Structure 1
Amino acid sequence: MKLPIKESLALLDPKTRRKLPLMTLSFAVAAALDAIGVALFFPLVLALVDPASSAKLPMLGRFFSPTELAEPRFIIFLLACLIACVFVFKNILSVTLLSWQYKVLFTAEAELGSRLYASYLQRPWPSIANRNSSELIRNASVSCSQIFLTFIIPLFTIIVNLLLFCVIFVVLLLVDTPTAVGAAILVAIFGGAYFWVVKAHLHRIGVRFQDANFELLNELKQGIGAGREIRVLGRQDEFVRRLRFSREKYANAQALRNVLTQLPRYYLEVVLVFVVLAIISIMAIVRPVVEIAPVLAVFGFASLRLMDATNAILGAAQQMRIGAPAVIAVSAEFRDKVVAQPGPKELDRSLEKPGETGLVLENVNFAYGRGDQILRNVDLRIEWGECLGIVGKSGSGKSTLFDIMIGLLPPTAGTIRCDGSDIAHQRDAWLARIGYVPQFVYLSDESLRQNIAFGVAEASIDNSRVAKAIELAQLTDFVNQLPRGVVTLVGEQGAAISGGQRQRIGIARALYHDPDVIFMDEATSALDNETESAVVETLESLKGDKTIVVIAHRLSTLKPCDRILLLEDGALRQWGQASEAVDDEHQDCSAGEMQ
């Protein structure tokens, strides 16, 4: 499998990509300093074993006088000091560059994860609604980290160590060309053979790691999200067993990945020991000892540096094979994404249909892909200030109709107009005019104030709007009973409050930005009759000031409605006035009762 190097670099933001040439150049300088340090070992050892020969070296003659060259102890001392200074400076520079490299790349990781998360939130709702949330979470968190930890950083590790390898190899060629070439050939053969043997397994390990991580996230999400049902049904042992199994798969994938990452170190150590011993044996046969010593000193020290470099290269290459599936998965997200284009924040009056007011659905049709038609030729006019109820059996398309009216789903045919303006071309302007209360109101583990102004930065929350929304949603008494008022934490998913208060908080959230229209999707279906009555009372208080559209199974929820429509077989028809249709506040609306 070809490594997705081009795709990984394309994931970097432009600012990071502009820094890559400078990063590569800086590490080339460090590699050159490393090579200089290695090269200086040759005259040092030569001065130790054969002072007369060292005095004839041209490189020493340029820097030392004949008198100084005649005293080998002086030369040895200066060369030792020079080597020490070169390596100290080189290591200080390398640590500085490494710190800078990690800062740049991990900042880029944070940027990549943020961009992917932003793309999920900006995509049209249908492209996200049917995706597994565990997969999305994995891609935006673990996979983005894996791209850098197991692909991009290893890629730079290979570049840096290849530079080091090449520069030191040039030095070895200058010291002893035949020996350098022979050693390089042996290392290349053994290293290439190792990588050829294991590379087929590395991609599979990367896929196993991605799959194990997905399963682990999925089991955690299910176990925590369904905590109440698990306890009631007594299924704790089964969910613990599933999580333990997923944990073991993840641990095994991690262990295998780490073993294969470390394996080249031990393999290469054996290879280089054999190569060095072979060089010593051959040179001892064909050359005098005086000639062998300085060459062996240089090759011995260089072999240690090259062993580290080669080990890093092979280990990084393995990591890249393992990290490739993460690159492919995240690259596909950016390649396939369809981002909802931002529209005007105000309705364009030039697109109005003269004389038309209110919200109008005209000949609206909808089908999911090539499936059955969900909505057929729906025509509807909602006057401003009206309270409209929509009923229908489960699966009749009520929520689909709601999503189309809100602007989350585009109709496959037909138009939706607000005061004559088609909202399809002005989605953002339409969304700014509506409030939405879902069946299950999501509450974050933040203060009541932050939950009402959901998604607004803490410093930008308008306290007067919060207070007005609380009053309109009839939450004042509830807030007054809280120990810290509006700054009281509601707990994760509103664990500290009742279902009725949760829905009222949802209504307050919808009212925070003073919308013209409020949509309520089965907002009372999970409430008891007394709590439902309290929410209905809140709707009554809003009637007239706001246009309200309510979907419900219970007809008792629709008491405040001026009209009630029945959605059946994909079409809307008049069900009646609320006073006629609602004769029992505990009545449920079923298919049989509607017919």
Structure 2
Amino acid sequence: MAGVAAVGILGGLAVNGIQSKSPGSRVSTVLNVLNLNDQSFQMQVALIGALAAGLLIGRTLLSVLITRKTLFFLGSKSSQLTEDLVSKFLAKDLSYIQSHSSQKVLYSLTFGVSTVTLIILGTTISLISDIFLVIFLAIGLFAVDPIVALSTFTLFGFVGIILYQLMNKRAKHLGQESAQLIIQSSNKVIEVITSYRESIVQNRRSYYADAISKDRERLANVSAEMAFMPNISKYIIEMTIIIGALGISAIQFLLQDATHAVATLTLFMAAGSRLAPAMLRIQQGALQIKGGLGTAGPTLDLIEDLKNAEKIKSDKRQIKFEYPGFIPNVSIRDITYSYPGTSGYSLKVQELDISSGSTLAIVGPSGSGKTTLVDLILGVLEIDSGEVLISGLPPKAAIQKWPGSISYVPQDVFISDGTIRENLTLGFPADSVDESDIWEAIEKAQLLEFVKAQPEKLEAQVGERGTQLSGGQRQRLGIARALLTNPKLIVLDEATSALDGNIEADFTSAISRLQGSVTVILIAHRLATIAEADSILYLDQGKVVMVGTFDQLRADIPNFEKQVTLANIKGQ
């Protein structure tokens, strides 16, 4: 405001000086305050010009400094928000995790978070700054010339409101469409890579190439339109300044003397040079916020969904191999579980005790609830009612108290794009595990011969999703990872399905030797794998039909006996 006023004074002083007139009363008052009455005209112009330039440039430099500080602050808050959302998201159970698209979650936790902090919040802060700038300019202009102030703010205010009304809905729509297209095209890329064999056999690669290309072309058009929209405001406000200057000049020269007219025009141009960019930033900022709200929609939904969720408890303990006080027994009492969106209970187990050091096999037709039961035992899913205890504690509490005492191997083992060592120590710093412990786990998993045959040994690359490994090698790598911490409770969910008969027999024999010291829960369709289990639980349609030995199930369950006969397995 002071800088704009100085420019106005400079204009009035210059016109009076050219006409060899004394400065007006307002200009004289300012010169007197600044103690410049006794200075020459040239010195007065130079000093007031320098003052105006210094004030306006200083304000700009200060704005740059504050904006930079603000953005860096918001950048750090962005990482904190991501950490908070990731922690709360991962604290949820498996059904919640699986209800969200992985690409949508990835988008929400990365690009979406940056949009919330740097675009929505960052722009809002700048918007508040510019609003205060406009308010102070309004105060200054009304004090100097109410008519010019009213005309200026009416003109720019009207143009700004019209522009916002015309473009705000479009900006939000474009932001939503951009988010949807990014997630959609990412899903298709992952889909075709994951199903590459099927895509070749079914000759569908060209479909994916065309679909991805169309998504990206549409996204490029949306991005281009979003980038162009601010230019519309820029050009219209530039024209507004020109039209306003011409209009005020015409009116002032018709109604006032030249000195007053030039001073007024100078004041308008000085105010307009600050007001126009501020109004432009306000209008563009409002559009950015609208577009950002559309773009960050998935993130804002996730923030709202997780606002009352608890974060994962921090645990920075190093890898453990001993678990004093842990007893690997499992006790189940009256548990019920229903899948989200279904009516009635999908799984019921009244009573089940798995004693320490024993082996329990879980069998039954596909869809009978075998994996669901395992997930409930491990605390991956939350039971609707009842109780599951491991070593006397709920599953999550037991895992928190004795991390590493329980291990799990799924049928589809996750393999990261890294080395054998990095995959074995997944979740721990690679250098935190002794090499002797790694080799011991490799040997137990029947993977020793393969690893030793690699020129780089433990540093051999396995490729993304284990593309350099066979299916059996991926499973054995997953088994070795599970055995690394010397667990006392091991859960195997079809963990040997990709192994050939000899290797599976060797692994089964190795597991059998652990009986008495390690509790094993396993799901297996190959009945030969479970023939030596201490007890077998037969599930059908979410209900426990029977718990008994291999021969007891053969005698009492016709379907099980039929499967045994087809597999040509002899009883004990």
TM-score range, shorter chain: 0.7 to 0.9
Determine the C-alpha separation between the residues in 2 that align with 1:249 and 1:592: 56
Partner of 1:450: 422
Partner of 2:206: 237
- Structure 1: runs of 5 or more not aligned: 1-34, 583-588
Partner of 2:230: 261
Determine the C-alpha separation between the residues in 1 that align with 2:346 and 2:15: 92
Q: How does 1:317-328 map to 2 (within 5 A)?
A: 317-328=286-297
Determine the C-alpha separation between the residues in 1 that align with 2:563 and 2:168: 66
Where 1:411 maps in the other structure, the secondary structure is coil
Aligned-pair CA distance for 1:158:
1.1
Determine the C-alpha separation between the residues in 2 that align with 1:542 and 1:43: 93
Determine the C-alpha separation between the residues in 2 that align with 1:237 and 1:112: 40
Determine the C-alpha separation between the residues in 2 that align with 1:43 and 1:483: 82
Q: Deviations over 1:269-289 (max 9, x none)?
A: 222322221111111100111
Partner of 1:593: 563
- 1:261–1:221 CA distance, 2 compared to 1 (3 A): farther
1:46 aligns with 2:47: no
Determine the C-alpha separation between the residues in 2 that align with 1:343 and 1:303: 55
Aligned-pair CA distance for 1:527:
4.2
Determine the C-alpha separation between the residues in 1 that align with 2:305 and 2:73: 27
Aligned-pair CA distance for 1:310:
0.8
Q: How does 1:53-64 map to 2 (within 5 A)?
A: 53-54=22-23, 57-64=28-35
4+ residue stretches of structure 1 with deviation over 6 A?
A: 343-349, 579-582
Partner of 1:222: 191
Where 2:188 maps in the other structure, the secondary structure is helix
Moved more, 73-82 or 321-330: 321-330
- 1:343–1:45 CA distance, 2 compared to 1 (3 A): closer
Q: How does 1:277-356 map to 2 (within 5 A)?
A: 277-337=246-306, 338-339=309-310
The question of whether the paired residues in 1 share the 8 Å contact of 2:67 and 2:126 is answered with no
1:167 aligns with 2:167: no
Q: Given residue 524 of structure 1, which amino acid in structure 2 is its aligned partner?
A: T
Aligned-pair CA distance for 1:575:
7.3
The question of whether the paired residues in 2 share the 8 Å contact of 1:343 and 1:426 is answered with no
Partner of 1:9: none
Partner of 1:510: 482
Normalised by the length of structure 2, the TM-score is 0.87
- 1:511–1:50 CA distance, 2 compared to 1 (3 A): same
Partner of 1:177: 146
The question of whether the paired residues in 1 share the 8 Å contact of 2:413 and 2:475 is answered with yes
Aligned-pair CA distance for 1:243:
0.9
Determine the C-alpha separation between the residues in 1 that align with 2:392 and 2:420: 38
Q: Given residue 47 of structure 1, which amino acid in structure 2 is its aligned partner?
A: L
Determine the C-alpha separation between the residues in 2 that align with 1:468 and 1:526: 22
Where 1:363 maps in the other structure, the secondary structure is strand
Aligned-pair CA distance for 1:238:
0.8
1:414 aligns with 2:380: no
Q: Given residue 382 of structure 1, which amino acid in structure 2 is its aligned partner?
A: I
Partner of 1:37: 3
Where 1:172 maps in the other structure, the secondary structure is helix
1:362 aligns with 2:307: no
Where 1:53 maps in the other structure, the secondary structure is coil
- 1:254–1:592 CA distance, 2 compared to 1 (3 A): farther
Determine the C-alpha separation between the residues in 1 that align with 2:276 and 2:328: 78
Where 2:34 maps in the other structure, the secondary structure is coil
Partner of 1:555: 527
Partner of 2:455: 483
Determine the C-alpha separation between the residues in 2 that align with 1:492 and 1:590: 39
- 1:462–1:295 CA distance, 2 compared to 1 (3 A): farther
- How many residue pairs match? The answer is 548
Q: Given residue 482 of structure 1, which amino acid in structure 2 is its aligned partner?
A: Q
The question of whether the paired residues in 1 share the 8 Å contact of 2:12 and 2:23 is answered with yes
The question of whether the paired residues in 2 share the 8 Å contact of 1:434 and 1:517 is answered with yes
Aligned-pair CA distance for 1:317:
0.5
Normalised by the length of structure 1, the TM-score is 0.84
The question of whether the paired residues in 2 share the 8 Å contact of 1:536 and 1:557 is answered with yes
Partner of 1:8: none
Partner of 2:174: 205
Where 1:436 maps in the other structure, the secondary structure is strand
Moved more, 206-215 or 334-343: 334-343
Alignment identity in percent? 27
Where 1:362 maps in the other structure, the secondary structure is strand
Partner of 2:440: 468
Determine the C-alpha separation between the residues in 1 that align with 2:403 and 2:561: 32
- Structure 2: runs of 5 or more not aligned: 566-572
Moved more, 246-255 or 499-508: 246-255
Q: Given residue 208 of structure 1, which amino acid in structure 2 is its aligned partner?
A: E
Determine the C-alpha separation between the residues in 2 that align with 1:476 and 1:425: 34
Partner of 2:569: none
Determine the C-alpha separation between the residues in 2 that align with 1:188 and 1:91: 23
Where 2:407 maps in the other structure, the secondary structure is strand
Partner of 1:74: 43
Q: Deviations over 1:547-577 (max 9, x none)?
A: 1111011113335533333212323345764
- 1:575–1:554 CA distance, 2 compared to 1 (3 A): farther
Q: Given residue 362 of structure 1, which amino acid in structure 2 is its aligned partner?
A: R
Partner of 2:68: 99
The question of whether the paired residues in 1 share the 8 Å contact of 2:176 and 2:291 is answered with yes
The question of whether the paired residues in 2 share the 8 Å contact of 1:504 and 1:535 is answered with no
- 1:441–1:111 CA distance, 2 compared to 1 (3 A): same
Where 1:471 maps in the other structure, the secondary structure is helix
- 1:85–1:420 CA distance, 2 compared to 1 (3 A): closer
The counterpart of 1:375, out of the listed 333, 337, 347, is 347
Determine the C-alpha separation between the residues in 2 that align with 1:324 and 1:343: 32
- 1:343–1:454 CA distance, 2 compared to 1 (3 A): closer
- 1:147–1:424 CA distance, 2 compared to 1 (3 A): closer
Aligned-pair CA distance for 1:431:
6.2
The question of whether the paired residues in 2 share the 8 Å contact of 1:392 and 1:591 is answered with no
Determine the C-alpha separation between the residues in 2 that align with 1:310 and 1:362: 67
Q: Report the RMSD for the aligned CA atoms in angstroms.
A: 3.1
